[in-house]
Amino acid sequence: MLVTDRIWHALGRQLRNPSGGVGLIVGWLMAWINEEPNRLAINALDPGPGETILELGFGPGWGLRTIAARARGARVYGVDQSARMLQQAKRMNEVAISRGRMVLVRGAFSPLPWIDEMFHKLLLVNVLYFFDHDGRDISEVYRVLQSGGRLVIYVTSRETMEQWPFAGPTTHRTFDERDLATLLENAGFRRAHITITHVELALGVKGLIAVAEKSGGAIRREELSQDFTPSGFEALRQNVSAGLPNDRGKSRNVRK
Q: Which residues have C-beta within 8 Å of that of residue 52, sequence separation ≥ 6? A: 74, 75, 77, 118, 119, 120
Q: Which residues have C-beta within 8 Å of that of residue 241, sequence separation ≥ 6? A: 197, 199, 248, 249, 250, 251
Start-to-end CA distance of the chain, whole Å, equals 44
Q: What pLDDT does residue 251 have?
A: 57
119-125 vs 145-156, strand pairing mode:
parallel
Q: What pLDDT does residue 243 have?
A: 40
Its pTM stands at: 0.76
Q: What pLDDT does residue 246 have?
A: 43
Residue 11 CA to residue 23 CA, distance in Å, equals 10
Give the CA diameter of the chain.
57
* CA-based nearest residue to 212, from 155, 119, 145: 145
Strand blocks (E) in the chain: 52-56, 75-80, 102-106, 119-125, 145-156, 194-200, 206-213, 249-253
pLDDT in tens, 51-104: 999 999 999 999 999 999 999 899 999 999 999 989 999 999 999 999 999 999
- Domains annotated on the chain, with CATH: 3-253 (3.40.50.150)
Which stretches of the chain drop beneath a pLDDT of 50? 1, 3, 5-17, 19, 218-237, 239-248, 255-256
